[in-house]
Each structure stands twice: as C-alpha cells, then as structure tokens.
Amino acid sequence: RQLENLFDASLRSTVPHETSVETEVTACLPGRPGDYQCNNAMGLWSIIKGKKTQFKGPPAVGQALLKNLPASEMVESELCSVAGPGFVNVILSSKWMAKSIETMLIDGIDTWAPTLPVKRAVVDFSSPNIAKEMHVGHLRPTIIGDTLARMLEYSKVEVLRRNHVGDWGTQFGMLIEYLFEKFPDTESVTETAIGDLQTFYQKSKSKFDYDPEFKEKAQKSVVRLQGGDPTYLKAWTKICDISRAEFSKIYQRLGVVLEEKGESFYNPYIPKVIEELNSKGLIEESEGARVIFLEGFSIPLIVVKSDGGFNYASTDLTALWYRLNEEKAEWIVYLTDAGQHQHFSMFFKGLGNGYMNQAARKAGWLPESDKTYPRVDHVGFGLVKRNDGKPFKTRSSKVVRLVDLLDEAKTRGKAALVERGKDKEWTPEELDQTAEAIGYGAIKYADLKNNRSTSYTFNFDQMLSDKGNTAVYLLYAHARICSIIKKSGKDIDELKKTGKLALNHPEERALGLHLLRFAETVEAACTNLLPHVLCEYLYELSERYTTFYSVHQVIGSAEEASRLLLCEATAIVMRKCFHLLGITPVYKI
Ligand code: ARG
C-alpha cells in the first residue's frame, strides 16, 4: 500500500493530465528481478501516444515513473530497474523490511491488519434448516463463512454473523401435527424423547406423503401457526429449540460463532416490503401469484404464492431490505452452494454474476454498479465428493452426519498421536486437545485450501497426512518453530525489545519479504472472498521458513538473536493465519 502511494505520486507528476489512471503495483513472480513491480507504463502509453508527448514509447514512460518515484527509505533506488515494455521493478530495502518486522514484533500483528472501505458487514452463513440434521453439505457454508467473517473482523469491520436458519414454512405443519400425535402433552417433550430429529422429520414426512388425512391436518396446522395460534407457536418453538441445541453443539466443536436470525424473524416485515416494491411498479400478477419479471431470466421471481403465502424469495428480499435499511450493512455476503446462484442473481449482481436488472437494483436499494457500496455478494461453492467422485454419502446412501465426521477426525487425529507415543508424554487433556486441533483443523484446511468454486474430494488419509499441503504439516511446522525458540533458552519478549533483526542472506530476505506480504494477502482474500489465497500464503510461508532453516543455523550462530526474531515473526504470522482460518494452533508436537 505504501509503495502504491509512492507510485501514485510518481504517476501524477509524470503525466499530470491523466487523472483517471489508477496506479497498479503487484508482487513480482518468483525469479523476476524485483520484489514488486509497477505495471502502468504500457497502459499509460496507449493513452498518451496520440497526444503530444515527450515520451517515445512505454519503456521511456517506465523510466520516467522510476525517475519520479519520491525518495523513500523503503526502496533501494539504485537497484530498481525498468524491464521489457516498461515494467518498473522495485527492490525493497532490506533494512526497511527488517525494521518493519521489528516494529510488528513490538506493536503486535494487529497493526498489520488491512483497512477495508466498509464499517459493517453481514455474513449470512451456515444456515441449516430446522429439524434436519447438519450433514457434510453444511461443512462448506459454515467453514468458509466463518473464515470470511474472521478476516473481515481482523480488518476492523463490524460483522453481523447471521445464521439464516430455515425455521418457517410449510414443513412445520407436518412436524407440529406429528408432534401432537406422538406427544399429546407437548410441555413434557424433551430432546431425548424425540431422539434424533432427523428420523422424526422423515417419519412425519412419510406420513404426510402417504396419509391424506394427516396431510390435510398438517396444511391446516401451517395456517394456524402462521396466524399466531399460541398452541402451535409453542410446538414450533419446541421443535426449533431442540434443533438449535443440536446445531450449537456442532458450532461449539468447530469454534464457530453465529447469531441466529432465521426466516421467521423477517416474516412480519414481508408485507411492508412487498408493498414498497409494488408502489415502485415492480410487481405483477401472474397465474394468481404476485411476481417480478426480470430480463435475462426465463421465469419470474415469485414473491407471493397463488395461495397468498410467502416463500424463500419473499423472505430473502425482506432480509436484504432489513440488512440494508435497519442494520445499515455496507457489505452483505451470502454463503450457499453454487446451486442457489440463480436465486441470488435474481436479487442482485454479485461477484461474477452477469445481470444488471435484478430486483434489488430495480427497486433502487443498491447502486447501479457493483463496484460501489453497499455491496452484495453471493459466495457460491462446489460440492464435497467421495473418493470415487460421487456425492459424499454413507453406504446406505444416507448423507454423512457432520457429528460423525467430526468424531472420526478426532479419533484418527488421536490415533496418529498415540502412534508417535504422545500418550506417554502428555496428559489426557493435552492429548485430547491436540487431537481436536489436528482433526478439526485438517477438515477445515482441506476445505479452505481449494478454490471454493470447485468441488473437492474428501479424503481423511490425505488431509491427516503430515506431509504436503495439509493442516497437520503446517501445525507441526509452527510447533517446531516454537520449540526452537524455547530450546534457545532466550527470553523472546526481552529479545523483541533489545534485539536487532537483519535480513542479510537471500533466504532470510525471502522469508522476510513473504512476512511483509501478509496484509495485502488478507486484503486480497477478503475483497475477492477467496480464503484459499490465505492458505496458499501460509503454505508458502512454511516452505520459505524450511528453506531458511535448512540453510542457516539458528541456535548458537553469530546471528542467533536476529534469527530467533525471524523465527518468532514467522510463528506469529502463522498463528494469525491459523486464527483467520479457524484452526487452533498447537505448541508442542
Ligand atoms: N436454509 C437455506 C438452505 O439450507 C440456506 C439459506 C441461505 N441464506 C439465505 N439468506 N438464503 O438451503
């Protein structure tokens, strides 16, 4: 960012008339003769070549950009160069780099947090449906959503972590009716009496499908519930409570915090919002339903069903209205699988969607451009698959329950530790905690490291391996750094105050440079809503550390103090990455 400002100044003085040109500074690819590069010369040339200009071509523009770069202790001016068609390659001063890392060691890693142009955001994530068990399909919206929320929070954005649970709708008719049948005395129903809600749901569903009398009762039940009948509301609350208790156990294990505002919350606001859309002339009648026609879509968006009831879309439109107007969110991010892409693109154009006439823009709720705020995005993602490429199901073709998956991850994590004899060295609590950190961390990382839009294969053996790009490998790498620091016998906090950091050798410098790229990486991952970018960064960090450590002696060397500080800075940045990815670091292995 600082370098961008320098080039900005240079650009303004090189071509004072071209005020609309944006400065473009990027990190150099490995092997290129620079740390960062400014890519503006070619673009500038194509703008100014038709006009009267002193420059003879893009390289000359590049030379001028370099010459006009304000002097700064950050840049090693003599080492900078202009390459090819005007790329300005910048070499950062190793002294400045070392100083920046020293400052972070003293002031804390939070001083490296990026600043985003929004104050408040809604992240709508996880969002399972009541009375259905959380299964492997809920893994991605929960994990990816949590990471995005963590990255935004780190960037000083106030995040409303919204669990948009499916707690309203026709399925409640059958559930309530079935509850009345099984437990005439609703008061006494407890979690254990119902047993597993999933089975309860299935039984009531099959009764609904095969017993016409029950079906009729269930349909009446919905009307009474939506009309606010206290007996029905009580039964509804009961079912929601039991479900909620199950969900929260999973969230607790995963370390995920959410605030529930389910579909039912928005229900009272729906008529008002529909009225607003109607007064703007957006709503039309079609086959008894009230709909919004949108160009580019073969079907209209139904906002009131022909029976007068509301649906998923009515609720989502209202939730969007609420978030923009009542909660004053400047950025709203929705996480669901890519299958719901059409649903969301009917409301707004988000990242990668292609329509400009969505309902929310037609209503004037959102700006014309998706580059200005408030900004709304649908973060879609691919599926979790089995080794053979099929959807992830158990042998009896039931979906895999998330609880079972977490149990297995922990069991396997523990087995690996026992195999390494840790049960003899550690207390049972330590063993347990480490097994959870490894097991849950492995699941999360295996998910997050993939570009979210692709599907990935769930493979326990692979994700729990201590080699390759896995959470286990990274957790071990971090623990190893911690043990090196400990083994040195030095008081690292004291060293931070008194010690000097130097980046004299290429491997030290390469590691230091990567540390300094932390903030821009988090910013890119946030802005583009791509957590895998942070995973790539973390893996590269541990690789650069390994290279550094395999070439240079730390303990007992003449540069021990400096190298210990570099170890500590690496450990701190790794821990921050773990934190942002929702992974618990471990300190010994
Ligand atoms: N409950 C929905 C489902 O399971 C996901 C809700 C996502 N959020 C939203 N605002 N539509 O498919």
For ligand 1, is residue 311 a contact (CB within 6 Å)?
A: no
Task: Give the residue, by CA position, lying nearest to ligand 1 atom 9.
Answer: 164
Specify the DSSP element, H or E, that contains 36. strand 36-38
- Percentage helix, strand, coil for the chain under 3-state DSSP, each rounded to 5: 55, 10, 35
Could you tell me the two tokens for 245? 């208790």
For ligand 1, is residue 316 a contact (CB within 6 Å)?
A: yes
What's 2-92's CATH class? alpha beta
For ligand 1, the distance from its centroid to the CA atom of residue 72, given in whole angstroms, is 50
The DSSP symbol for 71 reads P
Q: What's the rounded Cα separation, in Å, for the pair 230 and 234?
A: 6
Name the residue of 164, 312, 324 to mutate for ligand 1: max ligand atoms within 8 A of Cβ.
Answer: 164
Distances (CA, A) of 17 to 12, 47, 51, 310: 8, 11, 11, 55
Could you tell me the two tokens for 202? 């299935």
Full DSSP string of 485-510: HHHTT--HHHHHHH------SHHHHH
Question: For the chain, first and last CA: distance in Å?
Answer: 37
**CA angle (410 as vertex; 406, 414 as ends), nearest 5:** 170
For ligand 1, is residue 527 a contact (CB within 6 Å)?
A: no
What integer pLDDT is reported at residue 584 of this predicted model? Answer: 97
* Residue 496 CA from chain centroid, whole number: 32
Name the one residue in this structure whose structure tokens are 């840790």.
422
For ligand 1, the distance from its centroid to the CA atom of residue 169, given in whole angstroms, is 13
Q: Model pTM?
A: 0.94
Name the one residue in this structure whose structure tokens are 């903030």.
519
pLDDT tens digits for range 349-367: 655 444 455 888 888 898 8
Q: What's the rounded Cα separation, in Å, for the pair 180 and 195?
A: 16
For ligand 1, the distance from its centroid to the CA atom of residue 334, given in whole angstroms, is 8
For ligand 1, is residue 129 a contact (CB within 6 Å)?
A: yes
What integer pLDDT is reported at residue 199 of this predicted model? Answer: 84
Task: Return all residues near 194 (Cβ < 8 A) that are at least 6 apart.
Answer: 200, 242
For ligand 1, is residue 457 a contact (CB within 6 Å)?
A: no
Task: Return all residues near 421 (Cβ < 8 A) that are at least 6 apart.
Answer: none
What integer pLDDT is reported at residue 497 of this predicted model? Answer: 94
pLDDT < 50 positions in the chain: 352-355
pLDDT tens digits for range 458-493: 889 999 999 999 999 999 999 999 999 999 999 999
**CA angle (432 as vertex; 427, 433 as ends), nearest 5:** 100
Q: What's the rounded Cα separation, in Å, for the pair 324 and 374?
A: 8
State the fold for domain 94-111+465-589: Isoleucyl-tRNA Synthetase; Domain 1 (1.10.730)
Residue ranges of the alpha helices (H) in 227-340? 230-254, 263-266, 270-279, 312-325
Name the residue of 259, 301, 336 to mutate for ligand 1: max ligand atoms within 8 A of Cβ.
Answer: 336
* Residue 105 CA from chain centroid, whole number: 26
pLDDT tens digits for range 552-566: 999 999 999 999 999
Task: Return all residues near 90 (Cβ < 8 A) that are at least 6 apart.
Answer: 3, 34, 35, 36, 37, 38, 75, 80
Task: Give the residue, by CA position, lying nearest to ligand 1 atom 4.
Answer: 128
What integer pLDDT is reported at residue 413 of this predicted model? Answer: 95
What integer pLDDT is reported at residue 370 of this predicted model? Answer: 67
What integer pLDDT is reported at residue 193 of this predicted model? Answer: 62
For ligand 1, is residue 242 a contact (CB within 6 Å)?
A: no
Name the residue of 160, 340, 348 to mutate for ligand 1: max ligand atoms within 8 A of Cβ.
Answer: 340
**CA angle (87 as vertex; 85, 89 as ends), nearest 5:** 145
For ligand 1, the distance from its centroid to the CA atom of residue 165, given in whole angstroms, is 7
Give me the long-range contacts of 31-34 (CB less than 8 A, separation at least 24): 32/83, 32/89, 33/81, 33/83, 33/89, 34/80, 34/81, 34/89, 34/90, 34/91
Q: What's the rounded Cα separation, in Å, for the pair 221 and 178?
A: 10
Q: What's the rounded Cα separation, in Å, for the pair 406 and 414?
A: 12
Task: Return all residues near 52 (Cβ < 8 A) that are at least 6 apart.
Answer: none
In the chain, domain spans: 2-92, 94-111+465-589, 171-252
Name the residue of 122, 127, 133, 378 to mutate for ligand 1: max ligand atoms within 8 A of Cβ.
Answer: 127
Task: Return all residues near 406 (Cβ < 8 A) that are at least 6 apart.
Answer: 250, 253, 254, 439, 440, 443
What integer pLDDT is reported at residue 192 of this predicted model? Answer: 62
**Of residues 554, 543, 565, 421, the one with CA closest to residue 494:** 565
Task: Give the residue, by CA position, lying nearest to ligand 1 atom 11.
Answer: 316
**CA angle (264 as vertex; 262, 269 as ends), nearest 5:** 115
List of E strands, 388-522: 456-457
Residue type, 239: I
